[in-house]
Amino acid sequence: MVEPEQLELFVAWAKRRGVIFPSSEIYGGLGSSYDYGPIGVEMKNRLKTAWWNSMVRERDDVVGLDSAIILNPQVWQASGHLDNFADPLVECLSCHRRYRKDDLLDLWKERNTAYVSEHHEIRKCPNCDGDLSEVKQFNTMFKTLVGPVEEDAATAYLRPETAQGTFVNFKQVMEVSRLSPPFGIAQIGKAFRNEITPGNFTFRTREFEQMELEFFVDPKEADEWFDYWVKARLSWYVELGLSVKDLRLKKHPKSQLAHYSKATTDIEYHFPWGWGELEGIANRGDYDLITHQKHSGKDLSVFDEKSGKKYHPWVIEPAGGVDRALLALMLDAWQHHETGRKGEGEPETVLGIDTRLSAYDAAVLPLVKKAPLVKLAEKLVAKLKNGGKSVFYDESGSIGRRYRRMDEIGTPVCYTIDFQSLEDNSVTERDRNSMEQKRIKIKEGE
């Protein structure tokens, strides 16, 4: 688990080990924009696969979708995003820094707790003590132009969420899938929000990836399904390794609900900087289908054969962030031992992440770079890869340092080929977490 004072060390580790890089770094970077390196992209893809398996492949009542990032602008007008998708913005009248109003309290707490206790309404800039402007509503949607000639091009928007692509496809997906409520449509995809104050590494960025499910239900069963999905989603994070003590449920009061929401509960994780949202589960009611039916003129209702009547399903929406989830899982699994795990050596870092999420299933390491050992190691790599395993091969450096490199990126097991391997076709198997080693046979045909 990363402590607040270790966060800088964690970010440096992520860059050094090819997990997450600052984007466009050779040009000075771009604020809160990151690229996933060779290790990070493997973990990210495995996390998405774990979500997809849980939400789609292991269920009979959910199907998948991959909708476009740029939709007809009327979608956002109908959904209310053009009018309501805004954050409260304040600007310092002296240094001209901009802040989300709801971030000011935390920023001042970091700097001056006494000021916060004396002032219920924050009116001073955390950067320079200058006066702040009145609150303005800032729409966080990214605009773009669609068309070959800028003067004639139509204004469009990069989607701020994947949900609307699901709602406008609802009727078609239901018909081709031969499903009826209760059923869900899941998708994973990029979303874009022009955040006023992005930060805390990959926790809040302007470009991010969502894992969203829109689950359509009979209105009479909405409360039951809402409770079901809150429990199911919380269990998923625990199953992947997040500590129960660092997770909590936060129910939104009515005064803080989004314009479409009947009820919302967030799953929060205790990050090094404090509690933050991992996923929100919302009861969206029938707002989305009714508003799109009204604006498009297309019937988005469902016929109930039992009652002989049409109705608009209510929607329960578990919506989580890929980047936030991976960040939380890495923070929770990351361990740094200043004098080694045995307390008497060099600094040592271990990523004890769930084996389903590690970038590699195993590493194959010849003890020394000798032709017979290398040849046998390459045969083992091929065997493991043919069995569907992701394998890292490393033949340079001392075996101890190679073990540490694998521990640092979370590889759960290492197989070492030595001279005894040439005699009896056995290898040394080393466990990442316990560091225990044992001899095992390489079985033919496996």
pLDDT surpassing 50 at residue 445: no
Q: Looking at the domain assignment, is residue 351 inside a domain? A: no
Domain span at residue 127 reads 86-139
Residue 52 shares a structural domain with residue 185: yes
Residue 196 shares a structural domain with residue 271: yes
Residue 243 shares a structural domain with residue 181: yes
Q: What is the pTM of this model?
A: 0.89
- Residue 310 or 344, more confident: 310
Residue 152 shares a structural domain with residue 268: yes
**What are the tens digits of pLDDT across the range 29-58?**
998 899 999 999 999 999 999 999 999 999
Residue 125 shares a structural domain with residue 159: no
Q: Looking at the domain assignment, is residue 70 inside a domain? A: yes
Residue 314 shares a structural domain with residue 417: no
CATH classification of the domain holding 308: 3.30.930.10
**What are the tens digits of pLDDT across the range 351-378?**
999 999 999 999 999 999 999 999 999 9
Residue 73 shares a structural domain with residue 114: no
Over the chain, what is the mean pLDDT?
92
Least confident window among 192-196, 291-295, 356-360: 192-196
Residue 288 shares a structural domain with residue 327: yes
Q: Looking at the domain assignment, is residue 74 inside a domain? A: yes
Stretch 217-227: mean pLDDT: 97
Q: Looking at the domain assignment, is residue 344 inside a domain? A: no
Q: Looking at the domain assignment, is residue 338 inside a domain? A: no
CATH classification of the domain holding 404: 3.40.50.800
Residue 61 shares a structural domain with residue 123: no
Reduced 3-state DSSP string for the chain = CCCHHHHHHHHHHHHHCCCEEECCHHHCCCCCCEEECHHHHHHHHHHHHHHHHHHHHCCCCEEECCCCCECCHHHHHHHCHHHHCEEEEEEECCCCCEEEHHHHHHHHHHHCHHHHHHCCCCCECCCCCCEECCCEEEECCEEEEECCCHHHCEEEEECCCCHHHHHHCHHHHHHHHCCCCCEEEEEEEEEECCCCCCECCCCECCEEEEEEEEEEECHHHHHHHHHHHHHHHHHHHHHCCCCHHHEEEEECCHHHCCCCCCEEEEEEEEECCEEEEEEEEEEEECHHHHHHHHHHCCCCCEEECCCCEEECCEEEEEEEEHHHHHHHHHHHHEEEECCCCCCCCCCEEEECCCCCCCCCCEEEEECCCCHHHHHHHHHHHHHHHHCCCCEEECCCCCHHHHHHHHHHCCCCEEEEECHHHHHHCEEEEEECCCCCEEEEECCCCC
Residue 307 shares a structural domain with residue 223: yes
Residue 150 shares a structural domain with residue 134: no
**What are the tens digits of pLDDT across the range 238-270?**
999 999 999 999 999 988 888 889 999 999 999
Stretch 98-122: mean pLDDT: 65
pLDDT for the residue numbered 118: 53
Q: How many domains does the chain have?
A: 3
Residue 10 shares a structural domain with residue 102: no
**What are the tens digits of pLDDT across the range 380-428?**
999 999 999 999 999 999 999 999 999 999 999 999 999 999 999 999 9
